[in-house]
A and B are shown apart, each in its own frame.
Chain A
Amino acid sequence: RKEVEQDPGPFNVPEGATVAFNCTYSNSASQSFFWYRQDCRKEPKLLMSVYSSGNEDGRFTAQLNRASQYISLLIRDSKLSDSATYLCVVTRYNFNKFYFGSGTKLNVKP
């Protein structure tokens, strides 16, 4: 079973829409959680870390559900510039590795 799984999409949404992605992780000992954004033919960049209590950064909200072992990303009022691939990343206690999901592609249309 993969360490981290994501729906590859694409999610095609109009500008102004609200869209949510989920990401599931397989190991209950997972320690830290992140959402990265990757534009076409560019390197991944951190969008936000995900905290146990959930956190918000402008139009973006991230949630962690340890009981069901998933994290979510909610984007409100989508912009054309939000079009990208969103990567879910997880780390585990005592494992010196970041585990990446294969990404969810978002297309925001005018």
Chain B
Amino acid sequence: NAGVTQTPKFQVLKTGQSMTLQCAQDMNHEYMSWYRQDPGMGLRLIHYSVGAGITDQGEVPNGYNVSRSTTEDFPLRLLSAAPSQTSVYFCASSYSAQILSYEQYFGPGTRLTVT
């Protein structure tokens, strides 16, 4: 049982490049989400999903796309990278999308630098 996995762990992009951050969970969790964490700002929600085929925007969605074609996978796409997207990205999952009383499990994070 691997929990939540993220790849890559580190990435350097040039401005304007695109890429996909991968996230997968093997716990059959309904709810999945992407956060970015910047110094002094805590975790900010980018996008989330309450089940396969259903996604919605969080607090800071601009410049990012997501899809959820399966329960297990929730990739985050950066469309045209900008230096402001330099951050640490965490993917998380939770058992139920209906009752958010269950804990979230986080992946180990992806450290992204955009030059």
Contact = CB atoms under 8 A, between A and B. Distances in A.
Contact of A98 (B40, B41, B104): B104
Q: Which of B31, B56, B106, B107 has the most CB of A within 10 A?
A: B106
Interface stretch (B43-51, B61-69, B73-81): B43-51
Nearest to A91: B100
Nearest to B54: A96
Interface of A: 8, 31-32, 34, 42-46, 49, 87, 89, 91, 96-98, 100-103
A91 B31 CA distance: 13
B42 interface: yes
Contact of B106 (A32, A43, A96): A43
A44 B100 CA distance: 17
A102 B40 contact: yes
Given A97-B48, A100-B43, 10 more contacts: A34-B103, A43-B107, A43-B109, A44-B90, A46-B104, A89-B104, A96-B48, A96-B97, A97-B33, A98-B104
